[in-house]
Amino acid sequence: MEKVADVSLSSSGVQAAKSLREIISGNSIAVFFAWAACAVILLLTTLILWMSFSRGLPFESGFSPDNYAEVFGSEHFWTVVLNTVGVGLGTVAISIFFGVPLAWLLNRTDIPMRSLFITMLAVTVIMPGLVKAMGWIMLLSPQVGLLNRLVMGIFRLREAPFDINSLWGISFIQGLMLTPSMFFLISGPMRSLDSALEEAAEVVGANRLKIIVWITSPMLWPAILGGIIYIFMTAIAMFEVAGLLGGLSENRILATEIFLAVQPFEGSSEIKYGVAGVYGLLIMAPSLFALFFYFQSLKQAHRYAVITGKGYKPKDFPLGSLRYPAILFVLFYLALAVFLPFAVLLWASLLPSLRMPSVEALSLVSFKWYSEIHYLLGGFDVMRNTLLLVVGSSALVLFFSFMISWVVVRTKLRTRRLVDTISMLPHAIPGIGFAFALLIAGIMTAKWFPWVPFYNTVWIIIAGNVLNRLSYATRITNAALIQVQQELEDAALICGARKWVSMLRVMMPLIRPSLVFAGLWTALLVFREVSMALLLIGPKNKVLATQLWILWRQGDLSQASALSIVLILITGLLILVVQRATGKIGEPRSLPQLGGGG
């Protein structure tokens, strides 16, 4: 018993007490890192704004409105804006067309194989947007598109009936990509709709269609609106599809303009950082505005989720003989989103060059490209970079989101609301915006502190991905930490553990499933991220996703197809790991937060 007295009551304890005041009430480690993350977010956001007023690099040239004059005065300006809005709305339309009926069918009706379908929807992330776009180009391009040729053959047409290289094409593919996001965003509210209301309508004698139109839909509007805003924001910031389909010079949208302004390898002669800054701001502006509404709808989603938590089970709508068309509809979406592009990629990857399936073509099938996979993957450096990118990003995302959540959820600091809000900013700022800011930061670093290994290293891409995924992961860790009772943490402190020991030994293990889930999903989405990486790569920091892009741009369709298949297989493996580790795939509440498509 004497021992205890020594530990607890030694005079050093009392002396140290004053300086420790902050540590126990302030959780200084967490506060430090949370604010570090927030500071970076704010700095980069400011940098975008700064760049828009600067003709050269910051500090090297004064402020001027010239960039705005150049952008607004450009002959393309209104075309670009209209194209962007068009792509945004088109994407929203497609994702509503598929997402809303799917959400209703899979949540509120007695459709067979429901959970299998839900899992499959979640797993469509297996196919990155870039790959999806490649597949669809091979199906619907006017020159080589297999579907186009098929239709031309059947109807003896002279011209290709579809042109994927259009705003319609971009909207179509992005819509297919974001349908699962829409689906999961409205699934929660859809489930918790009070079926009593629907039944009440039925009692009054309304028929089923009327019930859906007049009762179900109005109640869902807030959730659908939230989904629309989210999809719109994501769609206008997405670069890879438009970049691939328009070849950067047709179908210009804001996201591709940023590229043209800063990436000389795509043929633009002059690097115009300031102009890119203006475009970045133009993408961000509606998003920041929309963020407000987005938060509102998220709040409501929360409210609904609480209801679901109480084991409330709505009645399923009996489909009757409509069951078969319903299943067909689900399969139709899955075919467009995954099966068809996958099939065409697989086919192309087995041939020397793309051609229609025929007996002759079959005789040409070989695994030639796969045997050259090492060359396709881009060699050891690319592999190492990719591994570092994926592992590093997930680890850092987890670390920072845990620290932020700690401050937000487990301290009583007055600044925690601010931390919460700032950490949500990346929701509104498109990845491409961050990538641009990082590019500038990278160039400045290389110039002024050449010894800092940042510009033209994997770390700059990692930084972009960490910022981009931080908000989503933070929401998961927030939810997890809220659920851990305060006394579990207190008990560790009472046992003499310091704050960081209790974090490490008690809190982290307690929320481990959520951390694993968030970490693996981050890994998956970082692995297939290409927009930011393209803006940030140089000769030394190529990764797999950009390698694929480069192969395609070089015109090696078959090789690019083979690499896509490999990419898909790796992603699939990762998904399997997630499923094994957490069993959470297809659990609707976890997915929209991750922004599966974005």
- Footprint on this chain of another protein (rule: CB under 8 A): 1, 3-5, 7-9, 11, 13-14, 16-18, 20-21, 23-25, 485, 487-488, 490-498, 501, 505-506, 509-510, 512
Indicate the residue among 84 and 582 with the shorter CB distance to another protein. Answer: 582
Rounded Cα distance between 314 and 318, Å, is 12
Q: Of the two residues 25 and 64, which places its CB atom closer to another protein in the complex? A: 25
**Which of 27, 187 has the CB closer to another protein?**
27
Distance CA 566, CA 572 (A): 10
Pick 4 or 203: Cβ nearer another protein:
4
Smallest gap from residue 568 Cβ to another protein (A): 35
Is the Cβ–Cβ distance between 292 and 425 less than 8 Å? no
Closer CB to another protein, residue 368 or residue 512?
512
Nearest CB to another protein, comparing residues 12 and 321: 12
Query: In whole angstroms, what is the distance from residue 354 CA to residue 370 CA?
Result: 16
Cβ 570 to another protein, closest distance in Å? 31
One-letter amino acid at 292 equals: F
Name the token pair of 533: 């990486």
**Which residue's CB is nearer to another protein, number 361 or number 506?**
506
Q: How far apart are CA 31 and CA 37, in angstroms?
A: 10
Nearest distance in Å: CB 578, another protein: 20
Backbone angles phi, psi at 84, to 5 degrees: -60, -50
**Closer to another protein by Cβ: residue 355 or 512:** 512
Burial of 265 (0-12, 13-18, 19+ CB in 10 A): exposed
Least distance to another protein, CB of residue 485, Å:
6
**Least distance to another protein from the beta carbon of 523, Å?**
23
Instruction: Measure the CA–CA gap between 429 and 437, rounded to whole angstroms.
Output: 11
| Spatial distance between the Cα atoms of 56 and 447, rounded to a whole number of angstroms | 13
Q: Are 200 and 193 in contact (CB under 8 A)?
A: no
Residue 11 C-beta: closest distance to another protein, Å:
7
Determine contact, residues 51/434, Cβ cutoff 8 Å.
no
d(CA 477, CA 483): 10
Residue pair 292/278 in contact (Cβ under 8 Å)? The answer is: no
Residue 503 CB, shortest distance to another protein, in Å, is 11
Give the C-alpha separation, 444 to 455, whole Å.
9
Q: Smallest distance, Å, CB 361 to another protein?
A: 57
Kindly state the tokens that stand for 561.
């197809």
Tell me the C-alpha distance between 534 and 548, whole Å.
11
C-beta of 327 vs 510, nearer to another protein: 510
| 150, 138 Cβ separation under 8 angstroms | no
Q: How far is the CB of 36 from another protein (least distance, A)?
A: 24
